[in-house]
């Protein structure tokens, strides 16, 4: 995996490390907002904007933020951007605001954003962090839209709220309900892993060394690192 | 004669049963119910059942061809799934919905999990639940064509409304419901056949139906005939005899089977009395299917001479 190339950073989030289908992050909004293509697209774009902004700001402040209180700092930064996005959506897209409801505010605790802040923005330059945010955001939006297209067209016989007449008699209600979302999500994960077989990130890259929680983790695999740290002190 | 000296590890005695012969027995045991359904609901029920059987077999064959897996259609398990699913549908269901149900049962529940023996839950029962959630036509129950009746509601709905059908009607199946679930007589004939052929044991059906009977007996104020009509109506008998006893998704020990049946009976009772759904057999079996690995673990036999469990 070339980490130097800006383009590869961008594409990384779209396919190879797609936050929804490969990293399995942000599952809650993925299942909740994909009953409608319009809502899924809105959710994806809102997250994308927050992701780029928070990645840039966290990358800028990465040398200022003390290590011990980094999580609260990230949360405050993310919450600030979410509030701005929420106000903008409320003002200019009231229909979308009503549709997404609480999930718009819940972008604050979306693990994709916090995860990228912790794993990427806090270690990389501003430009690369912005590209990573853009790639991850596009990957998230595409994933949401692909789930939503299947669920809405087959489950509700409409596309972005516009009814498809010839499918009206052949609706499968199951798909717009919660278990249907799970099934479609699972099938797409299977499809993506089948298509990218061997290309998805190796387990090693997610080992304790790359894990942000390694210092606090009680797992046996992490003990070595924990031990070393104590010795250093 | 060249097999006279055959050296192998245990088991040394083979009963001669194969998946195919067991599945063939299940198909034979379901024949009375299919015939009864056709007589009660008319020729269209045969069409529904045939479409389900054919599409299940075709889908499994196609999946195995495309994914280059060993062809498993010959073991007849897909035919059993199709027949069971067909018998669990109302007679007036649109044909395309049958096909969607079969796709769900065979492709999603069975083949994607690795085919026969690897499915977590019973394909037919899961497809029935899927169709119950998906299609409004599943709730519109058919009325028998051979008797004059004005009501389209199932016995369970009628019991909930306070007018219970006669026990004779329930026993012979001349009430509303899915194609194969109404005729208790035909299902019991199938049960007897399976018991005689030793395809299934009595544990799951008896503990399942028995627990529903006892709980209903208490709930109905110790009214024997009311409790009897409750176990004869809905999908309880076909579920308890044919679907809860699926080898793959039910426990293998006698104790485990009793726990499985009791749990399914309790859940059926709770769903029937305390939920918005009039019938809970399919949900109960599905739920117990998911619990099955834990029941197996709980009731695993102690190895003779091995450490204490």
Q: Is residue A154 within 8 angstroms of chain B, CB to CB?
A: no
Q: What is the 3-state secondary structure (H, E, C) of A190-233?
A: HHHHHHCCCCCCCHHHHCHHHCCCCCCCCCHHHHHHHHHHHHHC
Q: Is residue B100 within 8 angstroms of chain A, CB to CB?
A: yes
Of A23 and A201, the structure prediction assigns the larger pLDDT to A23
Does A230 map to a domain?
no
Q: What is the pLDDT of residue A185?
A: 93
B301 by DSSP, 3-state: which? Answer: coil
CA separation for the pair A58, B9 (Å, rounded) = 64
Task: Check B133 against A173: CB less than 8 A apart.
Answer: yes
pLDDT at B296 over 80: yes
Residue A178 to chain B, least CA–CA distance (Å): 11
pLDDT band at residue A155, thresholds of 50, 70 and 90? Answer: confident
Domains annotated for chain B, with CATH where assigned, are 19-295 (1.10.3430)
Does A36 map to a domain?
yes
pLDDT band at residue B173, thresholds of 50, 70 and 90? Answer: confident
pLDDT at A17 over 60: yes
Does A207 map to a domain?
no
Q: What is the pLDDT of residue B222?
A: 81
Q: Is residue A176 within 8 angstroms of chain B, CB to CB?
A: no
Give the count of domains, chain A: 1
Tens digit of pLDDT for each residue in B244-274? 998 889 998 999 999 999 999 999 999 888 8
CA separation for the pair A225, A223 (Å, rounded) = 5
Q: Alpha helices of chain B — where are they, by DSSP H? A: 19-41, 44-66, 77-87, 95-103, 123-134, 155-161, 167-172, 184-196, 203-219, 224-232, 236-238, 254-274, 281-298
Task: Check A174 against B96: CB less than 8 A apart.
Answer: no
Supply the Cα-derived Rg of chain A in whole angstroms: 19
Bridge-partner residues for B184, per DSSP? none
Task: Check B108 against A183: CB less than 8 A apart.
Answer: yes
Q: Is residue B96 within 8 angstroms of chain A, CB to CB?
A: yes
Does A20 map to a domain?
yes
Does A65 map to a domain?
yes
Its domain, for residue A61, covers 6-165+172-201
Residues of A with Cβ-Cβ distance to B130 under 8 angstroms:
174
**Which helix (H) or strand (E) is A162 found in, with range?**
strand A162-163
Which residue of B96, B112, B134 is in closest CB contact with A174? B134
Tokens standing for residue B249: 């998704």
CB within 8 A of B296, min separation 6: which ones?
Answer: B251, B252, B253, B256
Does A193 map to a domain?
yes
Task: Check A190 against B112: CB less than 8 A apart.
Answer: yes
Does A220 map to a domain?
no
What average pLDDT is seen over chain A? 82
Tens digit of pLDDT for each residue in A110-140? 888 998 888 888 888 999 999 999 999 999 9
**Which helix (H) or strand (E) is A31 found in, with range?**
helix A27-32
Longest Cα–Cα distance of chain B, Å, equals 69
Which residue of A170, A173, A187 is in closest CB contact with B96? A170
């Amino acid at each position: 995996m070339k980490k130097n190339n800006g383009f590869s950073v961008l594409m990384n989030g779209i396919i190879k490390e797609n936050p929804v289908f490969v990293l399995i992050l942000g599952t809650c909004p993925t299942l909740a907002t994909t009953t409608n293509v319009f809502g899924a697209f809105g959710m994806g774009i809102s997250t994308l904007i927050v992701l780029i902004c928070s990645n840039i700001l966290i990358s800028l402040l990465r040398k200022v933020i003390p290590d011990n209180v980094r999580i609260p700092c990230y949360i405050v930064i993310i919450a600030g951007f979410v509030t701005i996005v929420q106000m903008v959506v409320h003002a200019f897209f009231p229909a979308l605001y009503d549709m997404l409801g609480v999930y718009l505010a819940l972008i604050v605790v979306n693990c994709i954003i916090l995860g990228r802040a912790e794993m990427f923005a806090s270690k990389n330059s501003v430009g690369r962090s912005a590209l990573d945010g853009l790639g991850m955001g596009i990957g998230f939006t595409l994933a949401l839209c692909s789930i939503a297209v299947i669920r809405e067209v087959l489950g509700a016989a409409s596309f972005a709220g516009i009814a498809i007449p010839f499918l009206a008699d052949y609706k499968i209600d199951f798909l717009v309900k919660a278990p249907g979302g799970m099934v479609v999500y699972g099938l797409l994960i299977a499809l993506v892993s089948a298509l990218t077989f061997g290309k998805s990130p190796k387990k090693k890259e997610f080992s304790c060394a790359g894990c942000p929680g390694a210092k606090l983790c009680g797992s046996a695999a992490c003990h070595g690192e924990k031990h070393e740290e104590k010795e250093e002190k | 004669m060249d097999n006279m000296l055959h050296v192998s590890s245990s088991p040394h005695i083979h009963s001669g049963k194969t998946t195919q012969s067991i599945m063939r027995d299940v198909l034979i045991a379901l024949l009375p119910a299919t015939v009864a359904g056709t007589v009660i609901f008319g020729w269209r029920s045969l069409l529904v059942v045939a479409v389900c059987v054919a599409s299940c077999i075709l889908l499994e064959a196609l999946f195995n061809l495309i994914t280059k897996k060993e062809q498993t259609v010959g073991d007849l398990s897909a035919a059993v799934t199709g027949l069971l699913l067909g018998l669990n549908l109302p007679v007036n269901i649109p044909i395309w919905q049958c096909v969607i149900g079969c796709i769900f049962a065979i492709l999603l529940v069975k083949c994607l999990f690795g085919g026969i023996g690897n499915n977590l839950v019973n394909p037919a029962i899961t497809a029935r639940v899927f169709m119950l959630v998906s299609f409004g036509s599943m709730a519109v129950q058919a009325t028998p064509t051979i008797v004059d009746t004005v009501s389209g509601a199932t016995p369970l709905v009628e019991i909930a409304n306070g007018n219970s059908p006669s026990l004779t009607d329930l026993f012979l199946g001349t009430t509303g419901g899915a194609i194969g679930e109404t005729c208790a007589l035909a299902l019991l004939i199938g049960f007897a056949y399976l018991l005689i052929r030793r395809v299934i044991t009595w544990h799951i059906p008896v503990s399942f139906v028995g627990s529903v009977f006892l709980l209903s007996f208490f709930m109905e104020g110790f009214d024997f005939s009311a409790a009897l009509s409750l176990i004869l109506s809905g999908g309880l008998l076909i579920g308890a005899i044919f679907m809860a006893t699926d080898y793959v998704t039910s426990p293998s020990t006698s104790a485990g089977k009793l726990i499985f049946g009791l749990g399914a009976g309790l859940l059926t009772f709770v769903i029937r009395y305390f939920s918005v759904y009039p019938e809970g057999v399919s949900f109960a079996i599905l739920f117990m299917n998911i619990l099955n690995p834990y029941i197996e673990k709980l009731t695993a036999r102690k190895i003779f001479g091995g450490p204490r469990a």
